[in-house]
Amino acid sequence: MSQYPERITIYEVGPRDGLQNEKSIVPTADKVRYVDLLTSAGLPAIEATSFVSPKAIPQLADAPHVMAGISHGANTRYPVLVPNDRGMVRAVEAGVREVAVFTAASESFTKANINTTIRQSLDNFESVVALALANGIAVRGYVSTAFGCPYEGYVAPPSVLEVTRALLDIGVSEVSIGDTIGVGTPAEVESVFGLLLKSIPAGRLAAHFHDTRGTALANVLAAMQLGITTIDSSSGGLGGCPYAPGAAGNLATEDLLYMLDGMNIETGVDLAKVAEASIYILGVLGKQPTSKYLQAYITKKGMSAA
């Protein structure tokens, strides 16, 4: 029989990663209610919003209002994404206790996504992280395209290791390794995480899988067997740059939680309450879930998400 961790930390990205990709502007009150529903489900970490430029992404211009409006659960952290010093200053002003910065393992994607080289992105983050740490704020780092790049295809595991190490070196406490385009399989999970774990403790790594080709939960299984205990997911499967309506992006929190519950792996999270949070926000957005668990849940209850 395989060995699995006794406990997994689910890092919920729906409110940030899910809503930043929506074209429509979701009212602040709906965002707050969505985060509050996720908090009441017992999620230990909810990435609540992003302090990006309001000009660049008007959908998230209300970030300070979201942070002021949500009920802060005693057992929940509310990290926010910050792209640069200006965002970091705004996050400090908003009283944020944890932030995340975002780079990638392939040059073409980094160029297209944040218009820098990987090296420049790391240089830019040095002052962001310094400012965070000076304010007692923990920093998470994201490494995108760790399993493949939409422009370059194959990404070599040593490239993932290099940028992960660089993030840790500038003071990031945890690095989330992302399969941005959902191409990874358990074999690649073993080669990428296997390499990282030779020199980095499992507790400083998180796995961020996309379910674009249906492999996300199998990848989670492989990552857990390697000792990874923090898994990113998005309620309802929202966000994660899916190819198109109907296609899946982020691994759905419900699918992840259903599997972990069935394996008696502790999370502290209530599956039905996550489902209700997803149904709420999907109703606001007028969307159907990509989560298979949630599709079955909705059908069984005779409900409609949107």
| Active site members | 241
220 contacts a copy of itself (rule: CB under 8 A): yes
152 contacts a copy of itself (rule: CB under 8 A): no
183 contacts a copy of itself (rule: CB under 8 A): yes
21 contacts a copy of itself (rule: CB under 8 A): no
Q: How far is the CB of 244 from a copy of itself (least distance, A)?
A: 4
Neighbours of 274 (CB within 10 A): 31
Our CB check for a copy of itself shows the closer of 36 and 211 to be: 211
Restricted to residues 86-105, the positions that interact with a copy of itself (CB under 8 A) are none
Site string for a copy of itself, 257-276 (x = CB under 8 A): -xx-xxxx------------
Which of 42, 69, 157, 186: binder of a copy of itself (CB under 8 A)? 186
Q: How far is the CB of 200 from a copy of itself (least distance, A)?
A: 17
One-letter amino acid of 36: D
One-letter amino acid of 67: M
Q: How far is the CB of 11 from a copy of itself (least distance, A)?
A: 18
Our CB check for a copy of itself shows the closer of 67 and 217 to be: 217
| CA nearest to 43, candidates 227, 212, 278, 267 | 267
CA quadruple 46, 226, 216, 254: dihedral sign:
negative
| CA nearest to 284, candidates 26, 15, 20, 21 | 26
195 contacts a copy of itself (rule: CB under 8 A): no
Phi-psi region of 6 (alpha: psi -120 to 50; beta: other; left: phi over 0): alpha
Selected range binding a copy of itself among 7-15, 96-104, 117-125, 241-249, rule: CB under 8 A: 241-249
291 contacts a copy of itself (rule: CB under 8 A): yes
Residues near 58 by beta carbon (within 8 Å), at least 6 away in sequence = 25
Selected range binding a copy of itself among 16-24, 94-102, 162-170, 240-248, rule: CB under 8 A: 240-248
Q: How far is the CB of 5 from a copy of itself (least distance, A)?
A: 13
204 contacts a copy of itself (rule: CB under 8 A): no
218 contacts a copy of itself (rule: CB under 8 A): yes
Instruction: Write the burial class of residue 14 (CB in 10 Å: 0-12 exposed, 13-18 middle, 19+ buried).
Output: buried
CA-CA-CA-CA dihedral for 80, 85, 86, 89, to nearest 10: 70
Residue 197 is encoded by which pair of tokens?
A: 């774990």
Alpha helices in the chain (DSSP H): 19-20, 28-40, 63-69, 85-93, 107-114, 118-134, 157-169, 186-196, 216-225, 253-262, 271-285, 292-300
Which of 35, 101, 170, 222: binder of a copy of itself (CB under 8 A)? 222
Are residues 290 and 236 in contact, defined by beta-carbon separation less than 8 angstroms? yes
Q: How far is the CB of 14 from a copy of itself (least distance, A)?
A: 16
Q: How far is the CB of 203 from a copy of itself (least distance, A)?
A: 21
Q: Which residues bind a copy of itself (CB under 8 A)?
A: 1-2, 182-188, 190, 194, 211-215, 217-218, 220-222, 225, 243-244, 246-248, 252, 255, 258-259, 261-264, 288, 290-293, 295-296, 299-300
